[in-house]
Chain A
Amino acid sequence: MRTDLPDFAAPPLIETVFGVEFPPLKAWDIRHYGLLWQDVRDEYPVFQVQSPLRSTIERFGVDVFQQTEPRVELVSVPDLRCWFTNHSGSKLLQVQKDRFIRNWRQADSDPYPRYETLRPAFEVEWRRFCEFLARNSIEIPEVVQCEVTYINHLERGREWSSFDDLPEILSCWSPAPSFTFLPSLETALIRANYLMPDGKGRLSIVLQHALRGSDAKEVLQLMLTARGKPGGTSPAEMLAWFDLGREWVVRGFADITSKRMHDHWERKQ
Chain B
Amino acid sequence: MSTALGLSDLDLARTETPSSQWVQIIRRDDTTSWLFEALKLVLRAVPKVDNWDGYGSIAPGDAVKRRSVELLAAMEDDEPPLPRVVPVPGGGLQLEWRMGDRELEIEVLPDGSVEYLIVASNKMLEGRLAKPDRTSVRALILPVLLAR
Do A and B interact with each other, yes or no? yes
Where the two chains meet, the residues of A that have a C-beta atom closer than 8 Å to any C-beta of B are 14-15, 17, 19, 46-48, 50-54, 81, 85, 92, 94, 101, 103, 105, 147, 149, 151, 153, 186-187, 189, 208-216, 218-219, 221, 223
Known pairs A208-B29, A216-B40. 6 more at Cβ < 8 A? A47-B1, A189-B28, A209-B29, A210-B27, A210-B28, A211-B43
Contact A14:B27 (CB < 8 A) given known A213-B4, A216-B40, A216-B44: no
Min distance, Cβ B147 to any Cβ of chain A, angstroms: 29
Say how far B28's CB is from chain A's closest CB, in angstroms. 4
Instruction: Name the residue of chain A whose CB is nearest to the CB of B37.
Output: A211
Which chain B residues (17-62) contact chain A, with CB distance < 8 Å? 17-29, 33, 36, 39-40, 43-44
Main secondary structure on B side of the interface with A:
loop
- Decide if B18 touches A53 in the complex (CB within 8 Å): yes
**9 pairs from A and B in contact (CB 8 Å cutoff):** A47-B1, A81-B18, A187-B29, A210-B26, A211-B25, A211-B36, A211-B43, A218-B40, A221-B25
The answer to whether B25 and A219 touch across the interface, beta carbons within 8 angstroms, is yes
CA gap between A15 and B25 in the complex, in Å: 12
Contact at B29–A53, with CB atoms within 8 Å?
no
Cβ B28 vs Cβ A52 within 8 A: no
Interface centre among B17, B20, B25, B27 (most CB of A within 10 A): B20
Task: Check B23 against A105 for contact (C-beta < 8 Å).
Answer: yes
Partner of B25, one of A48, A50, A149, A210: A210
Interchain CB contact (< 8 A) of B28 among A47, A51, A153, A209 = A209
Task: Name A216's contact: one of B17, B27, B43 (CB within 8 Å).
Answer: B43
- Which residue from chain A places its CB closest to the CB of B23 in the assembled complex? A15
Which residues of chain B are within 8 angstroms of A151 by Cβ–Cβ distance?
A: 21, 23
Chain A residues with CB under 8 Å of B44's CB are 216
Pair A51/B18 contact, Cβ less than 8 Å: yes
Give the residue name and chain of the A residue nearest to B43 (CB): A216
B137 smallest CB distance to A (angstroms): 22
Identify the closest chain B residue to A218 (Cβ): B40
Question: With the chains together, A101 CA to B40 CA distance in Å?
Answer: 30
What residues of A have a CB within 8 angstroms of the CB of B33 in the complex? 186-187
Q: Lowest 6 CB-CB distances: which A-B pairs, in order?
A: A216-B43, A213-B5, A213-B24, A209-B28, A210-B25, A213-B4
Within 8 A of A (CB), among B105-144: none
Chain A contacts of B25 at CB under 8 A? 210-213, 219, 221
How long is the Cα–Cα vector from A101 to B22 in the complex, in angstroms? 11
In the bound complex, residues from chain B placing their C-beta under 8 Å from that of A54 are 17-18
Contacts of B21 in A (CB 8 A): 15, 17, 149, 151, 223
Expressed in whole angstroms, the Cα–Cα distance for A46 and B1 within the complex equals 7
Q: Which residue of A lies closest to B65 (CB)?
A: A213
B3 CB, min distance to chain A CBs, angstroms? 7
Is the CB–CB distance between B23 and A149 below 8 Å?
Answer: no
Contact assessment for A92 and B4 in the assembled complex, using a CB-CB cutoff below 8 Å:
no
